[in-house]
Chains A and B, each alone.
Chain A
Amino acid sequence: MTDASAQTRTDGRQVAAVAAGSLQARGLSKSFPLSRGFLGRPSAHVRAVDDVDLDVTAGTTVGIVGESGSGKSTLGRLVSLLERPDSGSVVLDGQDVTRLRGKALSALRPRLQVVFQDPFGSLDPTKSVAHAVAEPLLVHGRIRRSGMLRAAEELVSRVGLDPGLARRYPEQLSGGQRQRVCIARALALEPWLLVADEPTSALDLSTRSEILNLLLGLQEDTGQSILLVSHDFATVQHLAHRVAVMYLGRIVEEGPTQEVVGNPLHPYTRALLSAVPVPDPAVQRTRRRIVLHGDVPNPANPRPAAGSAPGAVR
Chain B
Amino acid sequence: MNPEVEHAEPGDPLLAVDGLTIDLTGPGGQPGLVQDVTFAVHGGESVALIGESGCGKTMTAMAVLGLLPAGFRVTGGSIRFQGRDLLACSEREKRSVRGRSIGAIFQEPMSSLNPTMRVGDQIAEARRLHLREHRKVARRRARELLDRVGIPNAERRLDSYPHELSGGMQQRVMIASAIACDPELVLADEPTTALDVTIQAEILELLRDLRREQGIAVLLVTHDLGVVADFCDRVVAMYAGSVVERSGVERLFDRPAHPYTRALLDAIPQTERPRTVLPVIRGRVPPAGQFPPGCRFEPRCAHGGHDRCLGPQQEASLADGRYTRCARVADGDLVLAEGGAR
**A interface list, Cβ under 8 A from B:** 1, 5, 67-68, 174, 176, 204-210, 212-213, 216-217, 231, 233-235, 237-239, 257-258, 261, 271-272, 274-285, 289, 292
A204 to B54, CA, bound (A): 10
Q: Are B52 and A206 touching (Cβ within 8 A)?
A: yes
B160 contacts partner chain A, Cβ-Cβ < 8 Å: no
Q: Are A209 and B284 touching (Cβ within 8 A)?
A: no
Inter-chain contact total with CB atoms closer than 8 Å: 109
A123 to B290, CA, bound (A): 27
Q: Count contacts on B: residues with CB < 8 A to the other chain.
A: 40
B53 contacts partner chain A, Cβ-Cβ < 8 Å: yes
A271 to B201, CA, bound (A): 10
Residue of B nearest to A7 (CB): B272
Q: Using Cβ atoms and an 8 Å threshold, which residues of chain B touch A261?
A: 271
Q: Select one of B201, B229, B265, B269 contacting A235, CB under 8 A.
A: B269
Residue of A nearest to B279 (CB): A209
Q: A174 with B284: in contact, given A205-B268, A235-B269, A275-B197 (CB under 8 Å)?
A: yes
A164 to B277, CA, bound (A): 26
The 5 closest A-B pairs by CB, nearest first: A277-B226, A238-B269, A209-B278, A67-B196, A275-B201
Q: A275 with B278: in contact, given A174-B284, A282-B250, A284-B226 (CB under 8 Å)?
A: no
Interchain residue pairs with CB less than 8 A apart (16): A1-B271, A204-B52, A206-B263, A208-B267, A210-B280, A233-B197, A235-B269, A272-B198, A277-B224, A278-B229, A279-B225, A280-B340, A283-B229, A284-B229, A285-B230, A292-B198
In the assembled complex, how far is the CB of residue B230 from the closest CB belonging to chain A, in whole angstroms?
4
Q: Using Cβ atoms and an 8 Å threshold, which residues of chain B touch A239?
A: 274-275
Q: Are B225 and A275 touching (Cβ within 8 A)?
A: no
Q: Select one of A231, A237, A272 contacting B269, CB under 8 A.
A: A237
Beyond contacts A206-B281, A238-B269: 9 other A-B pairs, Cβ-Cβ < 8 A, are A1-B271, A212-B269, A213-B277, A217-B277, A237-B274, A261-B271, A275-B197, A277-B226, A292-B198
Q: Using Cβ atoms and an 8 Å threshold, which residues of chain A touch B229?
A: 277-281, 283-285
In the assembled complex, how far is the CB of residue A161 from the closest CB belonging to chain B, in whole angstroms?
13
A216 to B269, CA, bound (A): 12
Residue of B nearest to A282 (CB): B250
Q: Using Cβ atoms and an 8 Å threshold, which residues of chain A touch B274?
A: 237-239, 257-258
Q: A209 with B227: in contact, given A67-B196, A174-B284, A275-B197 (CB under 8 Å)?
A: no
Residue of A nearest to B275 (CB): A216
Residue among B249, B267, B272 with the highest chain A CB neighbour number at 10 A: B267
Contact with A along B253-287 (1 / 0, CB 8 A): 11000000001110111011011011111001000
B223 contacts partner chain A, Cβ-Cβ < 8 Å: yes
B200 contacts partner chain A, Cβ-Cβ < 8 Å: yes
In the assembled complex, how far is the CB of residue A172 from the closest CB belonging to chain B, in whole angstroms?
12
In the assembled complex, how far is the CB of residue A119 from the closest CB belonging to chain B, in whole angstroms?
14
Q: Are A276 and B52 touching (Cβ within 8 A)?
A: no
Q: Using Cβ atoms and an 8 Å threshold, which residues of chain A touch B271?
A: 1, 237, 261, 278
In the assembled complex, how far is the CB of residue B276 from the closest CB belonging to chain A, in whole angstroms?
8
Q: Are B197 and A278 touching (Cβ within 8 A)?
A: no
Q: Using Cβ atoms and an 8 Å threshold, which residues of chain B touch A1?
A: 271
Residue of B nearest to A210 (CB): B280
A141 to B230, CA, bound (A): 53
A76 to B65, CA, bound (A): 42
